[in-house]
Structure 1
């Protein structure tokens, strides 16, 4: 277990809302069946879709991702402009596994994931075939090479999605953006596209039902989402940060973090009393491509049974 990995104070018991109405159980059963009907054929046909030319393939992926989210009972509201074409780094706040199909519905892109996912049954082969960029989260020295691979993908015209908080938060609080992945955008000379994700219920109230935090199990998270009533996922595509407008990764990360903030509390969770805040360590890198230790994980895909790991605190 690496001491550098960021984590959040959010836990399912302290932060997450659950549906308790009598209608929740049959609602969840029907929705999960609908998700299976939509998701399984899409996964089975993914090798054929990969042979399509980029434009029809992207349209198909966007449609399928929206269909999976909608089958789970989540309405999607996308606002803002279109993500730039060509190489672009999409960065967003991170709350749930739902964030991934939501962003793919905005712009199909290569995801960042931890290396362990490659060994998962079924899912590992799918994400590898989809061009996922893998990160060895436990080896700090491997991070510069990962940043270089991301930059190469961006130079080649790919869109890459990252969650720079490095961990999921409940939605009522948020983490700081680690700076490592922004070096790739600087090196490749491509824009950064901030995207703000927020889940709402009962009008404009923030909902933590989709949050996948702490030692949460994927099955429990799926059930909460499917049983929730009136859940809406808001995806706001914010103005891009053009290349050359920020001189270094620190200012670029701060600009993207500020854009996605929307007044959400940073580094502390109002629903998890007694937890400590997590600040970036003031550790300097030896060169422009070497991230600070506190930045080791620009994206934190977790195994459902994996508990969050402790971050370096200042």
Structure 2
């Protein structure tokens, strides 16, 4: 197994509703709103690369699905760390639960996303991701790993902030899996700060796995479960940045400890 080929012990059976599903009428209204939001995104064309446009389009998709976003930022700042003129961008690292993670974080602050190659082949969302400037990686391509790290370091040196999911695959909670170290090398090479972010999901305040996108589950099935979810909120907890001190292993471990500490306790 190589550095990208992470595997998860979570299966689609881990994804469960923690609250009653919405009515058939409400579900139909959500699908209609989603179609409109996606059509508007497609119509934006190359303008999706514009930060304001991307933020609005991502927020519109979440709103269409009835998803509320709550952002907690200890201290000052957003996802990216304020940088001096000519300074590097921020390596934003988050736990990975769902395809909704990307949309949610883009609705908070549009940044460059490093995503698995499969995302680029998804219907509807794939073309939108490409237009938004997403960088795709082949998780099975070990030989390409040094090139990916070098490209990521180059983006950071240019002052661009990049979002990565170091777990390498999705899990049902922030506490699962371990962080892969490769992307942290880019922060070390570029002297870029690392911003840990915890992403969690709840339904009517109860921690929920309904948004989890796991195993070999098809995108359509996952979308339907999310669209039918009642009272779904995604909480984004933005933690203080970490300086790129030490080696990539220590940096990855520090980031994962911070992110796990930001996850609320699960209900039994």
TM-score (norm 1): 0.74
How many Å apart are 1:4 and its aligned residue? 6.5
Output aligned runs, 1:278-293, within 5 Å. Answer: none
Provide the rounded CA distance (Å) in 2 between the counterparts of 1:70 and 1:166.
27
Q: Deviations 1:201-236 (Å, cap 9, x if unpaired)?
A: 132x21011110112121111111111111111011
- Residue correspondences, number: 258
Output aligned runs, 1:120-199, within 5 Å. Answer: 123-171=125-173, 173-199=175-201
Measured at CA, do residues 65 and 122 of structure 1 come closer, stay the same or move farther in structure 2, by a change above 3 Å? closer
Measured at CA, do residues 118 and 70 of structure 1 come closer, stay the same or move farther in structure 2, by a change above 3 Å? closer
Output aligned runs, 1:1-314, within 5 Å. Answer: 5-13=5-13, 15-18=14-17, 21=20, 23-50=22-49, 57-80=50-73, 81-83=77-79, 84-85=81-82, 87-118=89-120, 123-171=125-173, 173-203=175-205, 205-243=206-244, 246-262=245-261
68-77 vs 17-26, greater mean Cα deviation: 17-26
The gaps in structure 2 that reach 5 residues or longer are: 84-88
Q: Deviations 1:142-169 (Å, cap 9, x if unpaired)?
A: 1011100010011111111100001101
The answer to whether the Cα contact below 8 Å between 1:24 and 1:228 also exists between their aligned partners in 2 is no
Q: Secondary structure at the match of 1:77?
A: strand
Which entry has the higher C-alpha Rg, 1 or 2? 1
Provide the rounded CA distance (Å) in 2 between the counterparts of 1:22 and 1:263.
27
Q: Secondary structure at the match of 2:243?
A: coil
226-235 vs 19-28, greater mean Cα deviation: 19-28
User: Cα RMSD between the aligned structures?
Assistant: 2.7
How many Å apart are 1:20 and its aligned residue? 8.5
TM-score (norm 2): 0.86
How many Å apart are 1:47 and its aligned residue? 1.5
The answer to whether the Cα contact below 8 Å between 1:174 and 1:264 also exists between their aligned partners in 2 is no
The answer to whether the Cα contact below 8 Å between 2:211 and 2:226 also exists between their aligned partners in 1 is yes
